[in-house]
Amino acid sequence: MDLCTKADFDQIITEHSEFWDDDRTFPLHHSMFIFEFGDSAFVVREGGKVIAYLLGFLSQVERVGYVHMVAVREGFRRRGLANDLYEHFIDHCRQQGCTGIKATAAPDNEKSIRFHTAIGMTMDGDCTVNGVPAVRGYARPGVDRVVFRMAIDCGDG
């Protein structure tokens, strides 16, 4: 597990289609995750190639780490790399005194919902969309999101 460099980020952007099935997440990738939140952006490399990454940051309004995006390159999936990245991010958050982690997904993103619930995260919501709890208007007016949360022991007690 290494910090994500600008060269790693450029590789992720250039080879985006090898991580994602479509372009819907492309606009969500921004270099601020390297330049401004670089101590919480992580990659797994194999032979100089980024095979998995997690872009995250520490919340400014609560003691949680937020996972903005996690992805594994096609051909390297089902090896536990996303789980490993989450564990590394949780350790980072714990060292920073966080008491939880948070992530979001679209209510129709079944893969993300399965993954996040499998690692022990719970879903918050004030409505139900596609049979799952969601927060109405979380992304923007009219765009609901599943909000995942998990408490972590910050080790200070």
pLDDT, mean over the chain: 93
Tell me the residue range of the domain where 139 lies: 2-151
pLDDT of residue 37: 83
151: number of Cβ within 10 Å = 13
Instruction: Please indicate, yes or no, if residue 157 is contained in any of the structural domains.
Output: no
Instruction: Please indicate, yes or no, if residue 156 is contained in any of the structural domains.
Output: no
- The domain that contains 55 carries what CATH number? 3.40.630.30
Q: What is the pLDDT of residues 51-91, one digit of tens each?
A: 999 999 999 999 999 999 999 999 999 999 999 999 999 99
pLDDT-derived band of residue 2, with 50, 70 and 90 as boundaries? very high
Q: What is the pLDDT of residues 15-51, one digit of tens each?
A: 999 999 878 888 888 888 888 888 999 999 999 999 9
What's phi and psi for 96, nearest 5 deg? -90, 5
Number of domains in the chain: 1
In the chain, where does DSSP find H-type helix?
6-14, 32-35, 81-95, 110-118
pTM of the model: 0.92
152 pLDDT exceeds 70?
Answer: yes
pLDDT-derived band of residue 157, with 50, 70 and 90 as boundaries? very low
Instruction: Please indicate, yes or no, if residue 115 is contained in any of the structural domains.
Output: yes
Q: What is the pLDDT of residues 101-140, one digit of tens each?
A: 999 999 999 999 999 999 999 999 999 998 999 999 999 9
In 26-157, where does DSSP find H-type helix?
32-35, 81-95, 110-118
Instruction: Please indicate, yes or no, if residue 6 is contained in any of the structural domains.
Output: yes
Instruction: Please indicate, yes or no, if residue 74 is contained in any of the structural domains.
Output: yes
